[in-house]
Homo-oligomer: A and B are copies of this chain.
Amino acid sequence: MTDESKPIPTRVSDPQLVEQRRRQIVKAAVDLFVEKGFHKTTTREIAKASGLGIGTLYEYVHSKEDVLYLVCAYIHGEMKQRLDDVMGGKERGRELLVASVRHFFACVDDLQDYVLLIYQETKSLPPDQLKLVLRQEEEITHLFVNILERGRADGSLSLAADSVKLFAHNIVILGQMWTFRRWALRRDYTLEQYTEKQTSLLLQEICPSPLRTGHEKGEF
């Protein structure tokens, strides 16, 4: 579930070596893709930046698209890993939500180029791998579903059952929007301001009552 449930075949047998070399490849490719886009990046550039020969690259990967998939998986892995840090908290749903939104937004800011990359290049994946990437995307959304459910369970959040998923999507997309529309948002808001305002708006939608309790200090 959490690992690369689609083991890309290799001509190399030692799995540890495969792991290591692929890390090299992904590290190099991610930056190249961010800088020039998937299509304008050549396999030779990837090989060179990986410190591998082009022939060696193809020992660990079957096609350029495999590299893209590896990159997407890596990015989701990074994101998931960072999110898992906070998601496991013991607070009530509502406090957890606030904390996790803040954390999520910070992650998106941190990985903004990567987030953008996923949205822009994902369509170049072959259908099978595309499906896997979308599933990973969905897992992230599901993290928020869980948090929202906890809030509904402990009464700290008031939200119709059939709106939970949607709300989770909203959270995710509002986070990603920070990168999609950074050309506009950055002119008007800092990440801090952005996070605070969005959190405030979100809470208005789902706080039982009274609104804005506990946030007067502007700590988020």
Whether A163 contacts B197 by the Cβ 8 Å rule is yes
Copies of this chain, tallied across the complex = 4
Whether B183 contacts A166 by the Cβ 8 Å rule is no
**A181 to chain B: which residues have CB within 8 Å?**
169, 173
Interface size class of A (residues with CB under 8 A): 20 to 34
Closest Cβ–Cβ distance, residue A91 to chain B (whole Å): 23
Contact among B137, B163, B169, B204 for A177, CB-based, below 8 A:
B169
Whether B184 contacts A138 by the Cβ 8 Å rule is yes
Among A165, A169, A177, which residue has the most Cβ atoms of chain B within 10 A? A169
Against B, the Cβ 8 Å flags (1 = close, 0 = not) of A149-169 are 000000000000011011101
Bound together, the chains give a CA A98 to CA B76 distance in angstroms of 36
A52 interface contact, C-beta 8 A? no
**A138 to chain B: which residues have CB within 8 Å?**
184
A60 interface contact, C-beta 8 A? no
Closest Cβ–Cβ distance, residue A182 to chain B (whole Å): 11
A56 interface contact, C-beta 8 A? no
Known contacts A119-B180, A169-B177, A189-B166; A201/B205 CB under 8 A: yes
**A183 to chain B: which residues have CB within 8 Å?**
134
Known contacts A120-B120, A123-B120, A173-B173; A194/B166 CB under 8 A: yes
A191 interface contact, C-beta 8 A? no
Among A163, A167, A201, A204, which residue has the most Cβ atoms of chain B within 10 A? A201
**A167 to chain B: which residues have CB within 8 Å?**
201
